[in-house]
Amino acid sequence: MTKTDPSRLDGKLAIVTGGGSGIGEATAHVFAQASATVVVTGRRLEPLQAVANTIGGHTIACDVSDQDQVRAMFAQAVQITGRIDVLLNNAGGPGPIAPVAEVDMAEWLTCMNINLVGAMYCLQEAAKIMGAQKSGSIINMSSLMGIQGYPMRSAYVASKFALIGITESMARELGPLGVRVNALMPGAVSGENMDRILAKRAAAKGRPVEEIERQNYTDVAALKRWVTPEEVGRAALYYACDLSSSITGDKMKVDCGRF
């Protein structure tokens, strides 16, 4: 008798929003290596297609801040295998980097519309489909800034704190239907997005990028380094697969020990 490997995603369909770069791209690769059928979504079709071609997955263009596009994306995705087993709710952006007294409120609201409202659009569709099929795993991409405030990042912090509360609420709602809902909280993750944030902070504070990187990101971590996107992807796989079959309403730090 062959025992099923609980770390595998054989026969399962996984949607990865924000799948064209960074954590989303890395997680799409991790899920595909675990034998999932992966749908990568995002606003820019070209990088999505590059990822999908590499992993043998599917591409659907979708701006998560547009509810009609989200509904259409889920409707298209569910046609591939007849079900949706995993959602990595990852699409988002860093938002404005400025003191509260000076922040551009139009940029602040744009960040909330993508990171929070867009995430809710995806959660609503996933809840309908997974609730009806009585199984599924939802992974919300929060942040270390979802449990502690950070200067000059009020919009991002607000959106990520809210995702933690939504995760706990949905876990209670969907648990009786066999659907699990958990959240990941990455710390400082290396890549182009972090490079842009460092440049903005350096310009705003008039300090060298290297100094901000060392004092605020790497030296304050117990492991004295950045988190890689692949490491976040492997944590997402844990929540997606049956290794975590009894875990819901949970939140996991992936931060190299930034206590």
41-60: per-residue pLDDT in tens?
999 999 999 999 999 999 99
Segments forming the whole domain that contains residue 116: 13-187+228-254
pLDDT at position 143, please? 96
Pairing of strands 37-42, 58-61: parallel
CB 107 within 8 A of CB 95: yes
140 - beta bridge partners? Answer: 89, 183
41 - beta bridge partners? Answer: 17, 60
112-163: per-residue pLDDT in tens?
999 999 999 999 999 999 999 999 999 999 999 999 999 999 999 999 999 9
22-33: per-residue pLDDT in tens?
999 999 999 999
The lowest-confidence range among 90-99, 108-117, 160-169, 202-211 is: 202-211
- E strand or H helix that includes residue 141: strand 136-141
Q: What is the mean pLDDT of the chain?
A: 94
Residue 129 belongs to some domain of the structure: yes
pLDDT surpassing 60 at residue 103: yes
Chain-centroid distance of CA 148 in Å reads: 18
Look up the CATH number of the domain holding residue 46: 3.40.50.720
pLDDT at position 2, please? 52
Residue 74 belongs to some domain of the structure: yes
Find all residues with CB under 8 Å of 44, minimum gap 6, and list them. 20, 61
Q: Can you say whether residue 35 is alpha, beta or left, with left for phi > 0 and alpha for psi between -120 and 50 degrees?
A: left
Residue written as tokens 């049956």? 242
pTM, two decimals, is 0.92
Residue 249 belongs to some domain of the structure: yes
- Both tokens of 227, joined, read 């988190």
Using alpha carbons, list the distances in angstroms from residue 24 to 2, 210, 230. Answer: 32, 26, 9
Residue 146 belongs to some domain of the structure: yes
Residue 71 belongs to some domain of the structure: yes
Among residues 258, 141, 238, the alpha carbon closest in space to that of 193 is found at 141
Q: For the chain, what is the domain count? A: 1
Residue 64 belongs to some domain of the structure: yes
- E strand or H helix that includes residue 154: helix 154-174
User: Distance between CA atoms of 240 and 180, rounded to whole angstroms?
Assistant: 9
pLDDT at position 188, please? 84
Catalytic residues: 156
Task: Indicate the residue type of 62.
Answer: C
pLDDT at position 1, please? 39
Residue 46 belongs to some domain of the structure: yes
User: Distance between CA atoms of 217 and 43, rounded to whole angstroms?
Assistant: 29
Residue 182 belongs to some domain of the structure: yes
